[in-house]
A and B are shown apart, each in its own frame.
Chain A
Amino acid sequence: NAGVTQTPKFRILKIGQSMTLQCAQDMNHNYMYWYRQDPGMGLKLIYYSVGAGITDKGEVPNGYNVSRSTTEDFPLRLELAAPSQTSVYFCATSPIETGRVDGYTFGSGTRLTVV
Chain B
Amino acid sequence: AQSVTQLDSHVSVSEGTPVLLRCNYSSSYSPSLFWYVQHPNKGLQLLLKYTSAATLVKGINGFEAEFKKSETSFHLTKPSAHMSDAAEYFCVVIVSSNDYKLSFGAGTTVTVRA
Question: Interface residues, chain A, CB within 8 Å of chain B?
Answer: 31, 33, 35, 40-45, 48, 50, 58, 90, 94, 99-104, 106-109
Contacts and interface: CB of A to CB of B under 8 A. Distances in A.
Interface residues of B, number: 23
B106 A48 contact: no
Contacts of A94: 100
Interface of A is mostly: mixed
Nearest to A31: B100
Contacts of B44: 90, 106
A102 B49 CA distance: 7
Contacts of A109: 43
B101 A58 contact: yes
B9 A40 contact: yes
Contacts of B94: 100
A106 B104 CA distance: 14
A50 to B, nearest CB: 8
Contacts of B46: 102-103
Interface string B14-49: 000000000000000000101010000011111001
A103 B35 CA distance: 10
A45 B101 contact: yes
Contact of B43 (A31, A99, A106): A106
A101 B106 contact: no
Nearest to B32: A100
A103 B49 contact: yes
B13 to A, nearest CB: 20
A107 B100 contact: no
Contacts of A106: 43-45
Contact of B92 (A41, A102, A103, A107): A103
A33 B9 CA distance: 25
Contacts of A99: 100
Contact of B32 (A43, A58, A101, A107): A101
Nearest to A108: B43
B51 A100 contact: yes
Contact of A107 (B43, B90, B106, B107): B43
